[in-house]
Amino acid sequence: MTGNIESALQLAIKNRDRSIAMLREFVRIPSLTGEEGAAQKYLAVILETAGANVSMEEPDVAAMFDKYPHIAQYPTHWQHDLILPYEELPTMEGLESSGLEPVLNYDDRPNVVGEFKGTGGGRSLILNGHVDTVTVEPRDEWTFDPFGAEIESGCMYGRGTSDMKGGLLAGILAMVYLAEAKVQLRGDVTVESVVNEEHSGNGTLDLVRRGYRADGAIVLEPTSNEVAIRHAGGLYWQVTIPGCARAPGARWSGQTLEGVSAIEKLPIVIEALVNLEKSYNSKPVDDLMEQGRAIFSMVIGRVSGGHYETVSASEVVLRGGAYFSPIAGDVREIMTSMAAVIDRANSQDEFLCDNPARLQFLHHDDAMRQSQQLPLAVALRNSLQERNCNSNIVAGPFACDARHLVNQGGIPTVIFGPGSGTQAHRPNEHIVVEEFLECIEHLIAFIASWCNEESEQDFDDAILGASSSSSGI
């Protein structure tokens, strides 16, 4: 090496004010899903200046659907507007027959890939992060300007600070300081700044489709600098509950079933879904990483129905999500369990028996599971401990793009970054500035160590569930 790791670390320490200023500038560039272009250009300049070979390519929807017909998703602003039977979603045929007009496309929304070529013989690494953020609504619940990047009591406030501009920039700055210190790595490092993670994961999926691979990958999502090797899956659903629209006189005349309000049947369906959650979480868990954690969470997020106060509701629509640990089963098993409890609820009610509530699945995010002995995870944890950071190998609580890197790409992957997942999508989202700065230094040390070691380990044995879906997890 013409430079050494210590000089890169000293550069990071010396340039802490610079790192903070760059994060503030980054956060001040709005990059909501569908509006990532300006932020991507900002990062591309940083990577090019650091000496990376930079490419900017818009995701190819048709190619993704062709290769991953039930993994790729339509880039609408929120797929919950697309109601199709699961087997038709999200195939191109199903989309075309739905009549749904696309809300978004990938014009001027490129992925940014910066490749730092090594001298040869070392392990390669991908640093992955998404540039898009969720909405700032409800705006009136923010105390701080969502794009102000204000700093108060050691925290920087703004949309994307934790999820996940802090982590993405930490990875990029680690490479910047390594380059400025002239540290020559043996292995290649590929930095991936992707679009559309919040509403599909298509950005990362397209890079996997294009063939980007490495001996390991770090998804820089917020984990409070813990090392996560698994994450939950999500299944998004809708239940339509029927009723009979009648004025009050229909019931007064004794025609009870002729005037049933769908709202009266709502508790039956909700109870069935809540009891399913309780059933999953009452099962014994023999996985040490999952003990003490809920392995299944049913979120009922939206109810709509009825038109007038004195007319029984002819229909109620219930929407929500089921979030599940990999050990709870694969997505097909979860779908089967949900269908069974709705069928049982229908069969036990006189009205619903003849007028059943109808369950539909909207889209899903696969779970991801890997071994606790994953060499990449062990190496990162050991590197952190050497730096007096008592990081643990944990199970991540939220779905992210790691699923595509592992399940479709077969790449050993950890989730590691500054910030807390509890801050994601919330008003007054923030990140502890010191945690962001420490993450840069942690990444410098690990990248230099990982990429200067020869690849001797067969990583395939350490990956569980590296397939085209979450089946078998």
Q: Averaged in consecutive runs of 10 residues, what is the pLDDT profile of the chain (473 residues)?
A: 83 98 98 96 98 97 85 60 50 59 80 97 97 95 98 98 98 98 97 93 96 98 96 90 75 57 96 97 79 86 88 92 89 91 97 95 85 95 95 87 96 97 95 98 98 70 40 26
pLDDT for 453 equals: 92
User: In angstroms, how far is the first alpha carbon of the chain from the final one?
Assistant: 42
pLDDT for 294 equals: 84
The reply to whether the predicted model has a pTM over 0.75 is yes
Which domains are assigned to the chain? 5-60+106-231+368-464 (3.40.630.10), 233-365 (3.30.70.360)
pLDDT for 366 equals: 86
Q: Which of 433, 421, 444 is nearest to 221 (CA)?
A: 421
Q: Identity (one letter) of the amino acid at 188?
A: D
Q: What are the C-alpha distances in Å from 356 to residues 220, 259, 348, 349, 458?
A: 45, 16, 11, 9, 52
pLDDT for 464 equals: 44
The continuous run of DSSP H or E covering 178 comes out as: helix 166-180
pLDDT for 247 equals: 63
pLDDT for 249 equals: 52
Q: How far is CA 164 from the centre of its chain?
A: 10
pLDDT for 432 equals: 98
Round to whole Å and give the CA distance between 210 and 201.
15
Cis amide linkage into residue 90, ω under 30° from 0: yes
Round to whole Å and give the CA distance between 376 and 216.
6
pLDDT for 99 equals: 58
Spatial strand order of the sheet with 315-324 comes to 296-305, 315-324, 233-242, 358-365
pLDDT for 311 equals: 85
Asked whether the beta carbons of 331 and 87 are under 8 A apart, the reply is no
Question: For strand 125-130 and strand 189-194, is the pairing parallel, antiparallel, or unpaired?
Answer: parallel
